[in-house]
Every structure is written in structure tokens, then in C-alpha cells.
Amino acid sequence: MRVLLSNDDGIESPALWRLALEVAESSGIEGYVVAPAEEWSAQGHAITVREPLYAERLPASGYPLPAWRVSGTPADCIKLGLHSLLPEPVDLVVAGINQGFNLATDVLYSGTVAAATEGVLGGLPAIAVSSGHESGTPTTYQFPAQVTCQLLNLLSDQMDHPWLLNVNIPATDDARVNGVWITELGPCPYIDVVRSDEDEAGRACYWLAIEPHPDRPVAGSDWEAVQKGAISLTPLEVLRLTKTNHFAGLVPVVEELQARLGEGAGPFG
Ligand code: MN
């Protein structure tokens, strides 16, 4: 199995290289790294189309896998990797290990999930891996890297069609986790707040911030899994975004809009 690794925390991320090392040391898995020069956390599925992209091959010595540093976004990295940089096709895209969970609506903002989604758009299965870490608590990311490679091995017979798996692994450097759960995306584990501030020039400015959600996590959600110390696996649907059960509600709207268009007057006259 050959994998393309990327990471929205940027090419300097220690969690990226811990996973790359684990891949390099795993029998039966080969890999390439294509990662952004800068951090792109919470920048979603942005791509670079108004300026050129630059890719620099990192020196072979000193890195566990062949690797490129790219001037663009995580999604750019996957596009460049799959369509230009890599010397051979890969079977799967792995985005991560992200430093911090990607739960619930995080997946809409996450550059990690976006990189994995780009793999699916490229026709491949993909895994987005995130690991929570409490601030001030050092972690080597060894355990989430080992879990990720075990998952790659166990999923190796499902590489013939695209799918996307969002994986969240609790912060730990040992194997004392509370099981492995298949979960749904939960309600968001925090609430949005906007903090008012003043910049150095005295101008009013604002910071997007979050506070812990007062509710308890919904049973069976990814939030509940990681709160209880379990590994969370959430399969995501990305290719079928059309909401077909809204068709019926749109029919009278379409009929009325067509009638008004046909009158040649009124709002369109
Ligand atoms: Mn990130």
C-alpha cells in the first residue's frame, strides 16, 4: 500500500513526522509527504488559483519519507501530489496527525478534513486523523501514529473505492483508551463567541473564539467518544451533497417562479 501524507499544521508539524516515521517503519506501507510550508488550520478547503504554486523537494537524508514542501494550502498539496509530484500512484490519502481534535462542525472548517476530502475528490479513499492534546501536556504522537498505521493495515482490502474516515484519537502516549467507537458527527462541543478588543493603533477589532458547550455530548457522537477517552471513527459522505428530500418543498416555489417568468411582467418586468 502506498499513501500520500499531508497535514494542515504545516511541514514543520512534529505530529506529521511522527506519523511519517511510523509509516516508514511499517511493513507493507510506503508513503510520500506533501505538506504546506505554513499552517492552514481552520482554513478549510481553500485552493490557490490566482498565483503559481511552488514545491520544494526536501533532502532525502534526514526525513523518513520522500517529501515536498508546497507554498499553498492542504488541498493544493493533495492536488499537486496526486497529479504532478509523486512518481507513482498512491492507494490512499492520509491527512494528519492534526494537533487537536476535529469533531462535529469542525469538519467544515478543518484543513485536515479538507486534505482528506481532496483525496476522495481524486478518486481515492482517505483518512483524516486528529489527536487531542491538553495544553502544556507534551506528547510524542506515537500512540495515534501507531493506531493510524494499524487502521491502514486493517482497511487495506477496502482500497478499491473512495471513502472518507474522520478519526479522532484521545491524547495519550499509551494504549489505555476506552475502546474504538463508530460515531456520528455530534453537535459542536463548544459555542462561538466574539471577543471585542483594541489593536495597537487603538482601533476596535474582534477575535473569533470558543467556549466549552454547557450541554453534555449526544450519545454516540464523536464528541462523546473522545470525552470518554475512546477512539472515534466517523465515516463521512462527501460526494453526495444534494438534499433530495427538499425536492418536494421546492416544487411549488419553482411552479410559481415559472408562472411569474411566463407573465413577462411583475418582478421580472
Ligand atoms: Mn491543524
Residue-wise pLDDT tens digits, 243-260: 999 999 999 999 999 999
Using DSSP's 3-state secondary structure scheme, residue 206 falls into strand
Query: What pLDDT, on the 0 to 100 scale, is given for residue 267?
Result: 61
Domain 2-186+216-238: CATH superfamily, name plus number: Survival protein SurE-like phosphatase/nucleotidase (3.40.1210.10)
pTM: 0.94
Cα of 236 from ligand 1 centre, angstroms: 19
Please check the confidence at residue 12 and state whether its pLDDT lies above 90: yes
Phi-psi region of 179 (alpha: psi -120 to 50; beta: other; left: phi over 0): left
Query: What pLDDT, on the 0 to 100 scale, is given for residue 172?
Result: 75
d(CA 17, CA 186): 29
Which residues line ion ligand 1, judged by CB < 5 Å? 8-9, 41, 98
Query: What pLDDT, on the 0 to 100 scale, is given for residue 265?
Result: 59
Torsion sign across C-alpha atoms 11, 17, 19, 24? positive
Cα of 138 from ligand 1 centre, angstroms: 17
Query: What pLDDT, on the 0 to 100 scale, is given for residue 151?
Result: 97
Cα of 107 from ligand 1 centre, angstroms: 11
Query: What pLDDT, on the 0 to 100 scale, is given for residue 13?
Result: 96
Please check the confidence at residue 188 and state whether its pLDDT lies above 70: yes
Cα of 228 from ligand 1 centre, angstroms: 22
pLDDT in tens, 122-178: 999 999 999 986 666 668 899 999 999 999 999 999 999 999 999 999 877 676 889
pLDDT in tens, 15-57: 999 999 999 999 999 999 999 999 999 999 999 999 999 999 9
Query: What pLDDT, on the 0 to 100 scale, is given for residue 135?
Result: 63
Cα of 106 from ligand 1 centre, angstroms: 11
Cα of 98 from ligand 1 centre, angstroms: 5
CB 231 within 8 A of CB 168: yes
Please check the confidence at residue 261 and state whether its pLDDT lies above 80: yes
Instruction: Tell me where in the chain the CATH 3.40.1210.10 domain(s) lie.
Output: 2-186+216-238
pLDDT in tens, 82-108: 999 999 999 999 999 999 999 999 999
Please check the confidence at residue 70 and state whether its pLDDT lies above 90: yes
Cα of 239 from ligand 1 centre, angstroms: 23
Cα of 197 from ligand 1 centre, angstroms: 25
